[in-house]
Amino acid sequence: MLFLFKKYKYFNNRDNSGFAIPQILIIGIGITIGVSGLIASSILSLTGSKINKQEFLAKSSSYSGITKIKALFNDNNPNRFFNFYWIVDNCSEKSSNCSSTKVPIPANEYWSDSKWCDGEENCRGRQKAPICYAMDQIPWINEQELVQKLFTDSNNIGTNLENSKREFNQAFNLISSRYYGTEESGINSILIEGLSLPTNSSQKSSSNKLRVNIAVASTTNESGFGFISVGENDSDKENSLFLGNLTVKPDDKAKGSIIWRMNLNSNDDCGNLKTLAMGENATIPNNENGGLWIQPLSMPQQPRLKNVEDIGTVICTPERIARNNSNCILNSKNKNEKTYRIYSIFARGLNSKFEISTRDNAKIILEIIGDIDISNGGTFCHRDGLNACGTGKAENLTILFKQKNYPKQNILACNRENKEGGVKIKNNINYIDINYPLNNDLLPGNSFLIDNTGKAISEKFAAFIYGPQLTFISQRPNSNYVQVTNNSRKNDNFGLIVTSRGSYGYIKNTLGTSLEDTFTNLILTPDLKLIPYGNNQDNNLYNYEIIGFGKKISNLPYDSQFSQSVENVFLIFDKSSSTYHLRTFNIKNINRSTTSTLQRSYPRAFAILNPKNSQNDINLGSDLDDDSIAKPWLNSFGIEMQKIDNILERNFEGAVWVKNFCLDNNGTKNWKFSKNFIENLVSWHGSEFNWGRKSYRGKSIILWDTLRKFN
């Protein structure tokens, strides 16, 4: 009360006396509020700076994480396969996008591809990475473990500095990485969390959640370029390759790969790769320079065609070459690029020759619907302009195969049953119950047989062969005799044995102009099966090579039971007894005699060998020059045979991308390719033709998105 009274007095003090305390108090309160405010704001500023620092640390952590994973997956070490992790999905346990923690082995991941699977059960597609690795390479399981650690552990950043106090540790957690795209290119989307962690606490003080999208591209370097590619679809497996004694020049220093398009279940299936490829005697680039790469890579689409001219079936016997405007001699007709559509090319027998002239500014594409047969003395002469045979450059000639049927039953494959090599027919189901016209999908695919690349060692066959369904064969026949076809018109037999669809066939009249004359026909055994060229399979009931076509031109020798009414025969070499035989046959038409059949290069008929008996088969012995037995019979059927020099060296240059690549173990076979060839091929057909084993690399960062949450 007294105080109030005094206060009352003070407030009512109207004289000159004063009291300073209230004023000081008021000033004090003012100063306190002001100073406190300033203090609060500066503390706020300090807290902000500290938080900013922690954010900076967290951002640096996430950036470091991205750098680290990019550097790891981009590592080029030839013994490592980390780059394939760009194209698979990886999940940590923190990821809400994945049902479980998963860091796969890329070789166990597949590209979906119905064309590759071709209706095969349990086919998962094409393997994203090779499962085979060389001796000095790190097994997949190790790589998986290392990548898994990145996704499961918290990854610390930085090294502890001596005498320096560290307030915050830094770390990053990889949440997931997901690939969107194709085998060639795409985007890898990475979720990552950068952390700042106080050294004196287990709690995180700041985190930086990011989604980072990195553009991923595939590249094929010189050593990855596929100068040989084999395998069409999943069912081919190892049957698509027989390397034999192929030598890749210049030996071990060559850079380039043999791409074997095949899925394998485990590394145990790989074994010794050269043995697997039936190439114990082969010399191929070592692993660092390419070598043998087993992975079903997707192939580029066929090259684009310009200035297409249809010239039908090309049969290049000596007489046909001599004709005016023969299609056996081709050039680009003054065009930079010219395409010839050809149903089949046959240059088989002595002095048969198919000739083509190209230049850097006069390139040629041969679009082949059916088969090519360059064998038994026939040659494929590729010139550079007017220069000699064998001077043509591989990069100026592309041979493109466009098979019209889709074999479902009898499939061509390499013969791997023994060291002989060559081809065989998988299944080789007989043609008993067939309709007319034939469902041509019951026939095997087309083939390219070349057993001779020129007499001179300098001569070579040089081209880029693109035939995803084609069987490439280079195999010498067992018989040394070849038929001389209309060389000097000594008789009226103008028939020609050819190799079509990897099997023996014939053309009735090589000089004829009618459809019926120039159709190819296939030869069947008495039990109605096709006879694969060379016929090297073990346990083969009909161990034949068909080497000649005969047409009766005079009476037959009397002292035999051989059917006198027969008009045509085949000359057969029986490999089991090394004897020659004449054998009768019956014709069964299987396709209509129309232009459409010819354009699709379908066979007109089956020639079915009659069973071996005295009416149908004459044994001519082992010497066709024998005047007492062989000669009279051969003369009666207008068959002129000649012994051929065994040309032991075959030289190839360029690239061949086919379904089956079937060589033999005879003679010498050289394959040459160069960086110059690759560059010119790419400049002609496009960058997708720099094709082969791929390595992936993360390139530019195309999205850097800060997230609140990961889901």
- For binding to another protein (CB under 8 A), which residues are involved? 15-21, 23-25, 27-28, 31-32, 35-36, 38-39, 42-43, 45-46, 48-50, 52-53, 56-57, 60, 63-64, 67-72, 74-77, 79-80, 138, 146, 149-150, 157-161, 163-167, 170, 219, 221, 697-699
At a CB cut-off of 8 Å and minimum separation 6, what does 109 contact?
87, 88, 127, 128, 129
User: Residue-wise over 270-305: b if at least 16 C-beta within 10 A, else e?
Assistant: beebbebbbbeebbbbebebbbbbbbbbbbbebbee
Least distance CB 31 / another protein (angstroms): 5
Q: Give me the least distance between CB of 260 and another protein, in Å please.
A: 22
Nearer to another protein, 147 or 294 (CB): 147
From residue 651, alpha-carbon distances to 153, 243, 282, 476, 677 in Å are 56, 14, 14, 14, 16
Cβ-in-10-Å burial (0-12, 13-18, 19+) of 190 comes to buried
Which residue(s) pair with 662 in the sheet?
242, 473
Q: What angle do CA 18, 21, 25 make, to 5 degrees?
A: 135
Measured from the CB atom, the residue of 217 and 644 that comes closer to another protein is 217
Closest to another protein by CB, 71 or 388: 71
Least distance to another protein from the beta carbon of 61, Å? Answer: 8
- Least Å distance, CB 316 to another protein, is 44
Nearer to another protein, 49 or 594 (CB): 49
Contacts of 611 (CB under 8 A, 6+ apart): 526
Residue closer to another protein, measured from CB, 76 or 361:
76
Local structure of 372: helix, strand or coil: strand
Burial of 91 (0-12, 13-18, 19+ CB in 10 A): buried
> What's the closest the beta carbon of residue 425 comes to another protein, in angstroms?
42
173: helix, coil or strand?
strand
- Give the contacts of 451 (CB within 8 A, at least 6 positions apart): 374, 375, 376, 473, 474, 475, 476, 477, 650
User: Which of 35/388 has CB closer to another protein?
Assistant: 35
- Taking the least distance from each CB to another protein, the nearer of 155 and 520 is 155
Residue 461: closest CA among 472, 477, 450, 470: 450
CB of 70 to another protein, least distance (A): 7
Tell me how far, at minimum, the Cβ of 197 lies from another protein, in Å: 12
Mode of pairing for the β-strands spanning 397-401 and 411-414: unpaired
Least separation in angstroms between residue 295's CB and another protein is 18
CB of residue 168 to another protein, shortest distance in Å: 8
What are the start-end ranges of the E strands in 65-136? 90-91, 110-111, 126-127
- In whole angstroms, the minimum distance from the beta carbon of 682 to another protein comes to 15
Q: How far is the CB of 50 from another protein (least distance, A)?
A: 6
Q: Pick between residue 170 and residue 447 the one whose CB is nearest to another protein.
A: 170
* Residues shown for the chain: 711
Give burial (CB, 10 Å; 0-12/13-18/19+) of 215: middle
CB 147 within 8 A of CB 82: yes
Please name the residue that has the structure tokens 């060839």.
677
3-state secondary structure of 397: strand
CA distances from 296 to 121, 549, 659, 663 (A): 17, 41, 12, 21
Least distance to another protein, CB of residue 153, Å:
11
